[in-house]
Amino acid sequence: MLRGMLEAAKRGENVFITDVRKNFRSLGVQGERIIIQLDLIKKGDSRYFNIIVPDVPEENSEEINFIASYLRAEIYNMLSSLGGRGLTIYFNTQNMVLNNIFTEVREAFCMDKPLSERTGYGNCMNVIDRMIRAIHGEDEKFYYILKDSCERPGTMTDYKEDTTESDMLGRVTKNLEGKLVCGIDIGGTDIKVALAGDGHISCFKEYDWNPKAFIIPEQLIDPILYITRLVRAYYSAQKAQNKDLLEFLDSAMDKHSSIETIIESVEKAEEILSEDIIKLDAVGLSFPDVVVRDKIVGGETTKTRGMKLNPTINYEKEFAKITALNDRLMELCRKGGAIKNMNDGPAAAYTAAVEMMASDPASVRNGVFAHSLGTELGTGWVDGAGRVPEMPLECYNFIIDLGDFVEKAYTSEDVRSINNVNTGLAGTLQKYTSQSGVFRLAMQYFNKQRPNLYKELFDLGFVVETEDAGIKTLVVPTEPKDMRKGFLEHVMKLTEREDDELVNEIFRQIGVYLAITWFETEYILEPACKERTLFGRLVKMKKCFDLIKEGAKSRKPDIVFELADGGMANTPLMKQLEADAHYTVAQFAQAVGVIYFGNQGLIENSGE
């Protein structure tokens, strides 16, 4: 069994963690049983995982290395999604292979190193430490304990999802009169903003950016603040019926406006409006990082990687400015206003839940589980009452593939690589289900079977070759022009232009990866909701969405994907978006969804 999986990996084939787990479980009593107890961030809540691995002789180093990679992946996926306060592992301590593997886990996860020195598996520990600090204070520390199987607890009661019902998801859409609420959807390639006054959409604003290239926090914070000030000034000019000022602001409101134009326009508009500036009542924010109690606490994503690698700054100190973004946004609000912030994955789930509640309240009884397929794979989970579990939910970091040793050999920046850009770890969802997965598969398939399409990727500038210290790397350029959106749209349109089964297979394979994602989220998170609602650029074309579904069903025939498109426009604001002549639900759904989230903050503050 082990030898077959290793040989497949060497041939460059996928060896999915779900298949490895299934194969190992088939060993039954012939295998070594391991119990992993993960104590969650909320004291008193724990999860228990029952794992089986083969008993391998100490001299079989290659097979031992594979088992070690599997066990590290199991632990990493648990911590990346659930977080927690500590781990206790029960196993046969007389088994020296397992003893060595679990002893080395502490070092592999950099548990005893300072945050600035952690790499690889240790990145998830940074997120966990920041979460623990935010919730329980500086004195709480993550613990890692190894015990013999005979010491495992007699009863192991798993944490279960909170199923307490609430009507909050319905209330947030019904009392927007007299309120000015801004919704901000922050992504890896753009920011989308929607502003609603008195229950009516006032304006939309889109801004392209590349946070991966930022080296100081102000480069990330300032555009968000200035764009929020811009739409606030635009609304104030509308209310003041100042046509000249509205015309002046049009250039800044354009999608292609530079940050310099936006800053200049905002400062001049605020000077002209003076006391006529209408302060916001609330801001709802969808941010691509771990968020706890409205504060950004992750700091291990691609968006902040440039800052983390900047040797001229103290990253922890500077990241605190990003954590304090909600305080900066509050300065734009009236006294008693609200800032509600959540990760972009839960924002997608929340948006879907609000729309579903408006149409069929029974459909959200089990909550909503959603994925956003864009720059990264966002994962969102809200229960039937609209609550977001206090977990990292960084499922894009899941290690789903323990194979493909061929593409593992490329550096993480290479478009052909399966290595995570943030952590360097191989086989994570970042390079499988998001736009990076499309890029990688296009390069792989076209190079082998469609040389004309492969050459076209270079001719159009979607891929360029760079060289550093003699190592040649193929990358998607972001300067002087960001080619990521163009590359993705090109491949998506090929499904119609070429009607080529090889091109179609790219999106079917994305569906296969999403099915593996379903198995992993079901195994680790156990959500009551079994359907998955999909947002993002990868599913905005119906044919691509249908191909993704087809691929997913090849692994799980009864899987259910719901598309977050115009069909989900059931609330007043979303219907206004659906009817807009210039913007679509696929583009701005989350920006509208977090308007409702901002309103939820006002409802909570007022005690209504």
Is 543 inside any structural domain? no
pLDDT value for 390: 86
User: Mapping DSSP to helix (H, G, I), strand (E, B) and coil, where does residue 134 land?
Assistant: helix
Q: How many domains does the chain divide into?
A: 2
Q: Over range 106-122, report the average pLDDT.
A: 95
Residue 15 forms part of a structural domain: yes
Q: Is the pLDDT of residue 1 over 90?
A: no
The model's confidence at residue 608, banded by pLDDT at 50, 70 and 90, is low
Over 90: is that where the pLDDT of 586 sits?
Answer: no
Query: What is the average pLDDT across 131-135?
Result: 89
Is the confidence at residue 498, as pLDDT, over 70?
yes
Last residue of a domain, one of 101, 116, 151: 151
Least confident range from 4-8, 301-305, 575-579: namely 301-305
- Residue 569 forms part of a structural domain: no
pLDDT grade, residue 465 (50/70/90)? very high
| Per-residue pLDDT band at 220 (split at 50, 70, 90) | very high
User: In this structure, what token pair is assigned to residue 50?
Assistant: 């029952």
Query: Residues, the chain, total?
Result: 608
- Amino acid in position 127: V
Q: Mean pLDDT, to the nearest integer, of 551-555? A: 98
Instruction: Tell me which of 475, 506, 526 is where a domain ends.
Output: 526
Q: Tell me what the mean pLDDT of segment 389-411 comes to.
A: 93
Q: 3-class SS at 156? A: coil
pLDDT at 160 over 80: no
Cα separation, 84 vs 77, in Å, equals: 12
Q: Could you list the residue range(s) of the whole structural domain that residue 416 is in?
A: 398-526
Within-domain flag for 26: yes
403 within some domain: yes
The answer to whether residue 408 is domain-embedded is: yes
HSE of 63 in the Cβ direction (CA atoms, 13 Å)? 14
Query: Does residue 39 sit within a domain?
Result: yes
What's the mean pLDDT in 95-108? 97
Q: Is 125 exposed, middle or buried (0-12, 13-18, 19+ CB in 10 A)?
A: buried
More confident residue, 94 or 363: 94
Question: Of 151, 184, 200, which residue is a domain's last?
Answer: 151
What's the mean pLDDT in 549-555? 98
**406 vs 102: CA distance, rounded Å:** 27
Output the six-digit token pair for 339.
């800032």
Helix (H) or strand (E) holding 36: strand 32-39
Which pLDDT band, with edges at 50, 70 and 90, does 497 fall under? confident
pLDDT in tens, 28-44: 989 999 999 999 998 88
Q: Would you say residue 71 has pLDDT above 70?
A: yes
Cβ contact 249:263 at 8 Å: no
Average of per-residue pLDDT values in the chain: 93
pLDDT (0 to 100) of residue 564 = 74
Tell me what pLDDT residue 165 has: 72
pLDDT for residue 500 is more than 90: no
Q: Has residue 257 got a pLDDT over 90?
A: yes
Among 428, 450, 447, which residue's Cα sits nearest to residue 437?
Answer: 428
What value does the mean pLDDT take over residues 111-129? Answer: 94
For residue 536, what pLDDT is reported? Answer: 83
Q: Tell me which residue has tokens 């009542």.
A: 281
Claim: this prediction has a pTM higher than 0.95: no
CA dist., res. 287 & res. 504, Å (int): 32
Structural element, H or E, at residue 273: helix 259-273
pLDDT, position 566: 59
Query: Once rounded to an integer, what is the mean pLDDT over residues 244-256?
Result: 96
- Contact criterion met (CB below 8 Å) for 24 and 52: yes
DSSP tag of 296: E
Confidence (pLDDT) at 565: 67
Q: Is 360 a domain residue? A: no
Stretch 199-220: mean pLDDT: 96
Average pLDDT over residues 360-371: 90
Please state, for a pLDDT cut of 90, what percent of the chain lies above it.
79
